[in-house]
């Protein structure tokens, strides 16, 4: 009992102590142990390394960044608790993670004026009317899918409409871009021939693919995560499908190449950042921070997300007292800010938090990801939040 | 009572009293006063934890009435909480006063709960668990796909509750609301258990044929248990919705149902006090482990990531240890502690 009390007391003392004055405190919500931890860990590594890099080079305007990290295991309740703890510790900005926590905190961060950069690229979070303090540094899910449709439409040579199939999980994340895909596919003259569900945890997609194969699609949208995408690609190889698969941002990375092996050859992956090893200035920094160990694209986006946020904090700090509102306004003043080439240039606007309309289209091979094109779309106002 | 040694009961009424002694009344009163003052001396984070505990207490008491007292296992309470959340949210968005919306949310959930409780006449044990699991899945599907009403994958944004023109826009104000509702719910369930209805529930749990043979209408009472339990779950949902101010289908998935089951198992099945203990324990454990992991991480910075990740595993381990070493829950341990001090220093 005494030992328990001691542990409790020690924990409380450490918990209550919040040292340091000339520091900029940033909350980081990470999933290191929950269902999305396979991609959450590299992302969190990226954020952490960016903070370390900035601190090593003098911090922001001479102030060190103090990173307060909580593993919330993709649990909304724990995310809210962590957020409230961060707030008590005096954070000025938050690096969030998934859709569940980002959405649950939308109203909290708006009320407390804590600008949040998350890795949930849900289109509605880019609409300042819905989420006035939320930002992200990648084209949203709907824009990513639209860019792919545009690219394959522009490069289509045959004299018939493209036959499109859709495979997605019956899950908020999978369903989010589907209305946008359907509408834009219709606009471009695609023929939607098949639609089916493959769950995020499914270990077999043969029956769905056999059904889909009968409709002979040219391209199939895959809106899952790594494991379900690997299952789909392997089963497609098994049943001998000719269609090319378009895998979305959380469904194609270096893990997929390992999991699916030769089944990935020739399919496509959408990215909003460069992959490890690309010749951009930021890659030197990342190589320096990681000792040259290859990192996944999620790491690079985590790094870039923190880097862009740090830029907004730097601008806000130069102008006056560092408040959440000042960082929000500084974020909105960013125009074509280049995070060392890691992502396409970023701009946020007062009435439009879409960072850019650029999507990198990669072709996947079992040993590499090859950039095919940088597809840019026009910034249509009616697409905001959709 | 005065002048006698120990507790004597000379009537049933005195035996079913909540508080058997003046000391109990005094200590509970002091505890309540302390809780009511707590927003003044606790940090915002700590008050927010109290809010979550209050909401969890309502849900746990609700589930314990159905599962612990009436013996009807439910794997659908996460979804019932969701029904309450969405209904209350829709009503406040339509401009209803908060309490009217909250009550209506509870009533709608009660109807939904009764609907899914109908199979309970025929199904018992694991079969009923599967039937309520179906309720969970069906309702999750409705939350996700009835886009025009629930907002589907995008979810529903709400405002902080407004009561008599005052917006409860911070944790301290919200605390008094959640605390009041939680106290009322606990009182309601504790009182139900002292009535004919409560005794009927317990009789059904202990042996349904005996219950029926002494005149308990099984179907009616099981449905009543589902109704009251779902009503309170709906109330918990309505509070949760207006506490987080943004609800999505992901928040009301099967994991939430399991979490509530874990609360009543840890706390003690069939015990109101156990529900409270369970709710406190399950809500605070991840926080405590998180603090511990960070503390450990400060000594071993290189492996702090793994410490953080270990937390979920420890959470699971603690649940298993509870099932093995404390199957009757924290409420039982609490009784033992009380008995120990009652006899102190003459322990038997």
Hey, where are the domains in chain A? 20-139+278-355, 141-271+361-383
CB contact under 8 A, A88 and B152: no
DSSP A86-107: HHHHT-SEEE--SHHHHHHHHH
CB A329 within 8 A of CB A313: no
Task: Report how far apart the first and last C-alpha atoms of chain A are (Å, whole number).
Answer: 56
Banded model confidence at residue A99, pLDDT cuts 50, 70, 90: confident
Which residue among B45, B160, B309 sits closest to A85, beta carbon to beta carbon? B45
- Which residue of B lies nearest to A177 if distances are taken between CA atoms? B153
CB contact under 8 A, B298 and A111: no
Q: Which of A79, A90, A104 to mutate to test the interface with B (most CBs of B within 10 A)?
A: A104
Q: Which of B48, B241, B284 to mutate to test the interface with A (most CBs of A within 10 A)?
A: B48
CB contact under 8 A, B310 and A33: yes
Place of tokens 């007062």: A350
- Which stretches of chain B sit within 8 Å of chain A by CB? 43-45, 48-49, 52, 141, 144, 152-155, 157-160, 169, 171, 244-246, 248-251, 255, 283, 286-288, 290-295, 298, 305, 308-313
Predicted local distance difference test score (pLDDT) of residue A224: 87
Nearest-CA distance from A90 to chain B in Å? Answer: 11
Under 8 Å CB pairs connecting chains A and B tally to 113
Listed in sequence order, the residues at least 6 apart from A58 whose beta carbon sits closer than 8 Å to its beta carbon are none
Predicted local distance difference test score (pLDDT) of residue A118: 93
Per-residue pLDDT tens over the stretch A53-71: 999 998 888 889 999 888 8
Predicted local distance difference test score (pLDDT) of residue A16: 45
Predicted local distance difference test score (pLDDT) of residue A19: 42
Q: Which of B305, B306, B317, B340 to mutate to test the interface with A (most CBs of A within 10 A)?
A: B305
Q: Which among A324, A269, A297 is positioned nearest to A117, based on CA atoms?
A: A324
Per-residue pLDDT tens over the stretch A118-150: 999 999 899 999 899 999 999 999 999 999 999
Q: Give SS3 for A369.
A: strand
Per-residue pLDDT tens over the stretch B91-116: 999 999 999 999 999 999 999 999 99
Which residue among A44, A88, A173 sits closest to B44, beta carbon to beta carbon? A88
Classify strands A268-271 and A358-365 as parallel, antiparallel or unpaired: antiparallel
CB contact under 8 A, A71 and B308: yes
Residues of B in contact with A77 (CB under 8 A): 52, 283
- Which stretches of chain A sit within 8 Å of chain B by CB? 7, 10-11, 14-15, 30, 32-34, 37, 41, 44, 69-71, 73, 75-78, 80-82, 84-85, 87-88, 99-100, 103-108, 111, 122, 124, 130, 170-173, 175-176
Which residue among A11, A70, A85 sits closest to B292, beta carbon to beta carbon? A11
Nearest-CA distance from B219 to chain A in Å? Answer: 36
CB contact under 8 A, A73 and B248: no
Higher-pLDDT residue of A220, B296: A220
CB B72 within 8 A of CB B80: no
Work out the number of other CB atoms within 10 angstroms of the CB of residue B121.
Answer: 13
Nearest-CA distance from B198 to chain A in Å? Answer: 32
| Distance separating alpha carbons of residues A177 and A190, to the nearest angstrom | 16
For A358, phi and psi rounded to 5 degrees?
-110, 135
CATH of domain B44-343: 1.10.3470
| Distance separating alpha carbons of residues A154 and A163, to the nearest angstrom | 14
- Which residue of A lies nearest to B155 if distances are taken between CA atoms? A103
* Least trusted range by pLDDT, from A180-189, B3-12, B168-177, B241-250: B3-12
Q: Give SS3 for B33.
A: helix
CB contact under 8 A, B250 and A87: no
Nearest-CA distance from A230 to chain B in Å? Answer: 24
Nearest-CA distance from A177 to chain B in Å? Answer: 10
Predicted local distance difference test score (pLDDT) of residue A22: 67
CB contact under 8 A, A73 and B312: yes
DSSP B154-185: G-EE----EETTEE--SHHHHHHHHHHHHHHH
* Least trusted range by pLDDT, from B226-240, B301-315, B332-346: B301-315
Q: pLDDT averaged over chain B?
A: 88
Predicted local distance difference test score (pLDDT) of residue A13: 44
Q: Can you give the three-state secondary structure of B47-61, one letter per residue?
A: HHHHHHHHHHHHHHH
Q: What percent of chain A has pLDDT over 70?
A: 94
Predicted local distance difference test score (pLDDT) of residue B153: 82
Pick the CATH number of A141-271+361-383 from 3.40.50.2300, 3.40.250.10, 3.90.1300.10, 3.40.50.150: 3.40.50.2300
CB B86 within 8 A of CB B156: yes
- Which residue of A lies nearest to B306 if distances are taken between CA atoms? A32
Residues of B in contact with A99 (CB under 8 A): 248, 250
Which residue among A69, A87, A100 sits closest to B44, beta carbon to beta carbon? A87
Q: Once rounded to an integer, what is the mean pLDDT over residues A174-185?
A: 92
CB contact under 8 A, A69 and B308: yes
Nearest-CA distance from A176 to chain B in Å? Answer: 6
Any idea what DSSP says for residue A57?
A: T
CATH of domain A20-139+278-355: 3.40.50.2300
Angular region, A348: left φ>0, alpha ψ -120 to 50, beta rest: beta
pLDDT surpasses 60 at A10: no
Per-residue pLDDT tens over the stretch A151-166: 999 999 999 999 999 9
CB contact under 8 A, B245 and A107: yes
CB contact under 8 A, A37 and B52: no
| Distance separating alpha carbons of residues A315 and A326, to the nearest angstrom | 9
Tokens of B154: 């995008």
* Least trusted range by pLDDT, from A98-112, B15-29, B46-60, B238-252: B15-29
- Which residue of B lies nearest to A12 if distances are taken between CA atoms? B291
Per-residue pLDDT tens over the stretch B147-206: 899 988 888 888 889 888 888 888 889 999 999 999 999 999 999 999 999 999 999 999
CB contact under 8 A, B144 and A173: no
Q: Which of B175, B295, B309, B314 to mutate to test the interface with A (most CBs of A within 10 A)?
A: B309
Predicted local distance difference test score (pLDDT) of residue A62: 85
Nearest-CA distance from A104 to chain B in Å? Answer: 5
């Amino acid at each position: 009992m005494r030992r328990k009390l001691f542990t409790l007391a020690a924990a409380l003392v450490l918990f209550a102590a919040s040292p340091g004055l000339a520091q900029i405190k940033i909350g980081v919500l990470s999933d290191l142990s929950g269902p999305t931890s396979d991609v959450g860990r590299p992302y969190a590594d990226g954020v952490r390394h960016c903070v370390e890099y900035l601190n090593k080079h003098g911090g922001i305007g001479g102030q060190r960044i103090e990173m307060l990290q909580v593993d919330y295991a993709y649990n909304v309740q724990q995310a809210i608790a962590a957020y409230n703890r961060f707030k008590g510790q005096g954070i000025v900005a938050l690096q969030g993670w998934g859709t569940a926590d980002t959405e649950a905190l939308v109203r909290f961060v708006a009320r407390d004026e804590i600008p949040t950069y998350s890795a949930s690229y849900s289109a509605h979070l880019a609409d300042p009317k819905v989420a006035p303090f939320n930002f992200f540094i990648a084209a949203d899910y709907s824009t990513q899918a639209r860019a792919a449709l545009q690219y394959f439409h522009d490069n289509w040579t045959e004299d018939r409409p493209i036959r499109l199939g859709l495979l997605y999980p019956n899950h908020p994340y999978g369903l989010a871009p589907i209305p946008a895909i359907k509408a834009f596919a219709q606009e471009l003259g695609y023929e939607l021939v098949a639609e089916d569900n493959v769950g995020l945890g499914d270990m077999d997609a043969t029956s769905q693919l056999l059904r889909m194969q009968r409709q002979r699609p040219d391209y199939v949208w895959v809106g899952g995560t790594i494991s379900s995408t690997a299952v789909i690609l392997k089963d497609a190889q098994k049943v001998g499908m000719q269609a090319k698969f378009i895998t979305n941002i959380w469904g194609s990375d270096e893990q997929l190449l390992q999991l699916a092996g030769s089944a990935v050859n020739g399919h496509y992956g959408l990215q909003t950042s460069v992959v490890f090893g690309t010749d951009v200035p930021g890659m030197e920094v990342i190589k320096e921070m990681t000792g040259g160990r290859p990192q996944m694209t999620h790491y690079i986006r985590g790094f870039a997300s923190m880097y862009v946020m740090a830029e907004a904090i730097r601008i806000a700090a130069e102008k006056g007292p560092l408040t959440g509102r000042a960082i929000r306004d500084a974020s909105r003043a960013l125009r074509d800010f280049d995070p060392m080439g890691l992502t396409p240039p970023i701009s946020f606007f007062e009435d439009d938090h879409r960072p850019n309309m650029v999507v990198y289209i990669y072709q996947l091979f079992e040993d590499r990801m090859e950039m095919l094109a940088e597809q840019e779309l026009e910034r249509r106002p009616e697409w905001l939040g959709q | 009572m005065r002048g006698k040694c120990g507790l004597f009961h000379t009537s049933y009424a005195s035996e079913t009293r909540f508080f058997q002694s003046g000391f109990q009344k005094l200590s509970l009163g002091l505890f309540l006063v302390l809780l009511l003052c707590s927003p003044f001396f606790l940090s915002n984070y700590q008050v927010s934890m109290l809010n979550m505990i209050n909401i969890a207490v309502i849900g746990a008491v609700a589930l314990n009435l159905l599962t612990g007292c009436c013996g009807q296992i439910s794997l659908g309470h996460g979804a019932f909480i969701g029904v309450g959340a969405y209904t209350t949210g829709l009503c406040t968005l339509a401009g209803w006063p908060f309490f009217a919306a909250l009550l209506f949310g509870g009533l709608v959930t009660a109807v939904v709960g009764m609907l899914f409780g109908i199979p309970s006449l025929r199904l018992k044990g694991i079969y009923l668990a599967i039937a309520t699991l179906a309720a969970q899945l069906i309702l999750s599907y409705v939350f996700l796909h009835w886009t025009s009403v629930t907002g589907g994958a995008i979810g529903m944004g709400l405002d902080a509750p407004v009561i008599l023109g005052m917006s409860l826009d911070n944790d301290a104000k919200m605390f008094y609301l959640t605390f009041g509702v939680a106290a009322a719910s606990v009182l309601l369930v504790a009182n139900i258990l002292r009535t004919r209805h409560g005794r009927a529930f317990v009789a059904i749990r202990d042996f349904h044929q005996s219950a029926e043979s002494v005149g308990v209408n099984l179907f009616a009472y099981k449905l009543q248990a589902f109704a009251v339990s779902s009503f309170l779950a709906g109330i918990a949902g309505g509070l949760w919705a207006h506490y987080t101010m943004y609800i999505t289908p992901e928040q009301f998935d099967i994991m939430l149902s399991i979490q509530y089951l874990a609360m009543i198992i840890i706390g003690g099945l069939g015990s109101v006090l156990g529900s409270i203990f369970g709710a406190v324990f399950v809500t605070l454990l991840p926080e405590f482990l998180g603090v511990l992991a960070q503390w450990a991480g400060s000594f071993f910075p290189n492996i702090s990531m793994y410490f953080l990740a270990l937390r979920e595993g420890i959470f699971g381990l603690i649940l298993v240890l509870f099932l093995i070493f404390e199957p009757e829950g924290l409420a039982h341990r609490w009784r033992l502690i009380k008995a120990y001090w009652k006899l102190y220093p003459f322990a038997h």
